[in-house]
Structure 1
């Protein structure tokens, strides 16, 4: 065949840079959004925060804590709800008509931006020049388990060789304080010229096991509990607990109280005291020295009750207020008249896009949140047992959005309410059929299972079949394996492991 040229017409979808940025901002969490905005602020001089530039002071609007405590301030809540939907000017941010500085318009009113006075309120952002803000990044020093043990070894009267061997064993401990390696393996790791005998490592291990916290240096949970019990005053209950920890811990784990009483030769009351002593021990003595990673959640939406209606509003502390820098915009206007705008026009366009997309992000979050609140009012009134089934498509159809958009909005976005802080994904779940032809949410079933387990007889705990039968009597048809799945998901042990004396 001969090569030839042909003309072909076709249609395809293309994502503009503005749309790509909008999708990217929508799926970011609040922390990731602030990091992204900080990067834009560093790279674009035409963009700035509108935190401390208000010419006149406005009445302070309620913050996060006030919003949760004042549940009946109707006028204030209604005003916030209106601002959450469309701003005080009554103009929709999605249409791009809320600013005098549009893509087609000139530079007039460029300093007002999309977030003029009357938009969502903002919490304090930057603490430049504030002495109190300088200490927020200072963290308290955390002492690790190994540092704590080595410090104690430095106070002992051991010889240098014994102290070095004990410190060597300390370095081999895990975060829980256990020695996972055998002494033979540790001895092989030492240089042969030191000529360390196995008895020396045994003695060094004993020195480590005598340190605080009691139980470190154990090679098994049984040995860890036994070390803690030996440190307690001797007595009948303590002696039985020591025997149980060393020989019959598996029976206690399986709640086989009949065999335990036969093996220990005790009655119910004594076994209860022994069990209470065992339960009071710490099976992970080194965990208290492990560094804790604290995660702070800033809710995107606050829900409160106004005139017997649950209303969602944007959290002012999570909303970044941005605007175009007036000084640079004026300079750009002067250079435009001379035809010398240069690359600043592109930066101005990027600043406008970012401001608009941030506004649209929070508008979409607010719309989705309010739609969720409208369908889960029973949850806010009565709790988890009243949660109704809800899927992403239902919200998408109501708001005329794509299902993927709702998925992005509800991921890593949080809602603060009088019942707690929840991720928006929490309000979605599968459904289970009822005898009346309706549906019950999986979250409500989990809450019912938790209630039934919490009120059961500890001596005769409910089995999965019994829980399924009880729910069936209430008209909720749930299989036994579904009950087991929900129970395991909530961390509730099986019936034989919940049994007690």
Structure 2
């Protein structure tokens, strides 16, 4: 049987991601901390890269000069290599819609090298990260207290096993029988060691239940007596805020019950969380915004945008007598450094332009506060500055802006809209703010239900469904009206 072969020509568009474009996208979505780590890795492995501040007295080597030296060193008789990346524009490497401008835009705009604020850096003080030490963990602290206790070898062994079984919240996660079997001791010996560990700081540690932890904290305050201990025996009724039943059980007045409830609420339900297992990460703003001559001005935090350049000594070596292998090594690293520097410049420019666009859209927020946030989507900013929507998304992730009203992630300024009765759009963040203010102004004994909150917002011209109120309440960590209700007569409004 004969096989028929047929040759067809098909035209189509295909997105080609060059290594250079992949680098640009990778840098764009990095946070300032991730970028700092990445650049340090590049500085360690690429001898042609250096920070500008490392050699303040030298001029930065121009990219055109570097490429000219490279071409001169190669000579006209050197064999060509089609697989080797060329120095042509990035757009020549990419077909159709995968050009540099598709990712970053046309590069137009009023971006200029910004100046730092006076309070953003200090030449005298060491970097903050150099002053930090490893946080002491809960386990470290408990083992230290165990070590200074007068114990024999067996007691120390049991105590160590108990501490190893305490979770991050400070609770004992293993039963006494299993600890006894693991240490080859009796349950009674484990119980004796547990009493010792439960006397350690923080108060309430090594408890097996919430009630036991709270009781240990009362004992440390020398307040483990009725009505407080009786209240701990009825935690479920307290959680339901069934104050009538509690008052009947405890046989106390409203004022005495209020005092007991406030004391229990002042205790720590998770005593172990006072100790962090990881070092704190501090947010370094990528951009600043301030008012100057009546206008909002955006400035890039240059401390979060380190500048790199080509090392002149290695660059000059390209003109010297080198082996083919050494020359190829320097040329490859020079090309890699060139793309990294260009990508960093484009990253800084794009973050600046996105932040500047957000400030234009949200100037009322800067002037008057959260209640005046406008509905905003990524497409609005992308269209405003002429970049792809995915670029705007990458820029707003893990990038922070310092404003007179605090530090915010750029994504904070984007939210959906709710339409008022007059047809005016309201940002969902502004609606959340209004809900929070209404709850803060409610009567403690007669908190607003979700239905009542929806009615109050409708009176302000904002139509919001009750289920949307409930969703926003959860986001704001506001309990339901029944859980917000405090001691006193009356019921929740509906």
Do both share a fold (TM > 0.5)? yes
Aligned to 1:182: 175
In the TM superposition, what is the alpha-carbon distance from 1:349 to its structure 2 partner?
2.4
1:371-391 alpha-carbon deviations (Å, 9 max, x no partner): 110000011011110000000
- 2:159 touches 2:193 (CA, 8 Å); kept in 1? yes
Cα distance in structure 2, aligned partners of 1:174 and 1:342? 55
Which one of the candidate residues 33, 56, 68 is aligned to 1:106?
Answer: 68
| Unmatched runs of 5 consecutive residues or more in structure 2 | 71-111, 118-122, 488-494
Aligned to 1:51: 53
Residues 17, 173 of structure 1: alpha-carbon distance in 2 compared, 3 angstrom cutoff? closer
Aligned to 1:12: 14
Aligned to 2:227: 240
Residues 19, 279 of structure 1: alpha-carbon distance in 2 compared, 3 angstrom cutoff? same
Cα distance in structure 2, aligned partners of 1:105 and 1:324? 11
- 1:51 touches 1:122 (CA, 8 Å); kept in 2? no
Cα distance in structure 1, aligned partners of 2:340 and 2:411? 26
- 2:116 touches 2:299 (CA, 8 Å); kept in 1? no
**Is 1:447–2:409 an aligned residue pair?**
no
In the TM superposition, what is the alpha-carbon distance from 1:220 to its structure 2 partner?
0.6
Cα distance in structure 2, aligned partners of 1:436 and 1:484? 24
- 1:144 touches 1:289 (CA, 8 Å); kept in 2? yes
Aligned to 1:329: 315
Cα distance in structure 2, aligned partners of 1:132 and 1:377? 34
The secondary structure found in structure 2 opposite 1:323 is strand
Cα distance in structure 2, aligned partners of 1:19 and 1:154? 57
Cα distance in structure 1, aligned partners of 2:404 and 2:457? 28
In the TM superposition, what is the alpha-carbon distance from 1:107 to its structure 2 partner?
4.8
1:323-358 alpha-carbon deviations (Å, 9 max, x no partner): 22222223324569x9x9544333322222221111
- 1:175 touches 1:287 (CA, 8 Å); kept in 2? yes
- 2:213 touches 2:269 (CA, 8 Å); kept in 1? yes
In the TM superposition, what is the alpha-carbon distance from 1:133 to its structure 2 partner?
5.0
The secondary structure found in structure 2 opposite 1:35 is helix
Cα distance in structure 1, aligned partners of 2:350 and 2:124? 37
Residues 105, 266 of structure 1: alpha-carbon distance in 2 compared, 3 angstrom cutoff? same
Cα distance in structure 2, aligned partners of 1:175 and 1:100? 54
Aligned to 1:42: 44
Cα distance in structure 1, aligned partners of 2:358 and 2:269? 43
Cα distance in structure 2, aligned partners of 1:241 and 1:266? 11
Aligned residues: 438
Query: What is the Cα-based RMSD across aligned positions, in Å?
Result: 3.2
Q: Equivalent residues in 2 for 1:422-441 (5 A)?
A: 422-441=408-427
Aligned to 1:126: none
The secondary structure found in structure 2 opposite 1:239 is coil
In the TM superposition, what is the alpha-carbon distance from 1:142 to its structure 2 partner?
4.5
Cα distance in structure 2, aligned partners of 1:141 and 1:6? 65
Cα distance in structure 1, aligned partners of 2:260 and 2:138? 29
1:357-413 alpha-carbon deviations (Å, 9 max, x no partner): 111111111111111100000110111100000001111112221111111111111
Residues 234, 6 of structure 1: alpha-carbon distance in 2 compared, 3 angstrom cutoff? closer
Aligned to 2:365: 379
In the TM superposition, what is the alpha-carbon distance from 1:284 to its structure 2 partner?
2.5
Cα distance in structure 2, aligned partners of 1:405 and 1:5? 40
- 1:122 touches 1:320 (CA, 8 Å); kept in 2? no
Cα distance in structure 1, aligned partners of 2:376 and 2:305? 27
Comparing 201-210 with 273-282, which one deviates more in the overlay? 201-210
Cα distance in structure 2, aligned partners of 1:140 and 1:353? 36
The secondary structure found in structure 2 opposite 1:33 is helix
The secondary structure found in structure 2 opposite 1:51 is helix
The secondary structure found in structure 1 opposite 2:271 is coil
In the TM superposition, what is the alpha-carbon distance from 1:215 to its structure 2 partner?
2.2
Cα distance in structure 2, aligned partners of 1:207 and 1:99? 67
Aligned to 2:92: none
**Is 1:471–2:457 an aligned residue pair?**
yes
| Unmatched runs of 5 consecutive residues or more in structure 1 | 58-97, 109-117, 124-129
Which one of the candidate residues 338, 346, 349 is aligned to 1:360?
Answer: 346
In the TM superposition, what is the alpha-carbon distance from 1:440 to its structure 2 partner?
0.6
- 2:61 touches 2:312 (CA, 8 Å); kept in 1? no
Q: Equivalent residues in 2 for 1:146-161 (5 A)?
A: 146-161=139-154
Aligned to 2:337: 351
Q: Equivalent residues in 2 for 1:81-480 (5 A)?
A: 101-102=63-64, 106-107=68-69, 119-120=113-114, 137=130, 139-140=132-133, 142-191=135-184, 196-233=185-222, 238-245=225-232, 247-333=233-319, 342-480=328-466
1:291-320 alpha-carbon deviations (Å, 9 max, x no partner): 353011111111011122112111121121
Comparing 287-296 with 406-415, which one deviates more in the overlay? 287-296
In the TM superposition, what is the alpha-carbon distance from 1:167 to its structure 2 partner?
3.6
Aligned to 2:100: none
Aligned to 2:474: 488
Residues 335, 307 of structure 1: alpha-carbon distance in 2 compared, 3 angstrom cutoff? farther
Cα distance in structure 1, aligned partners of 2:378 and 2:162? 54
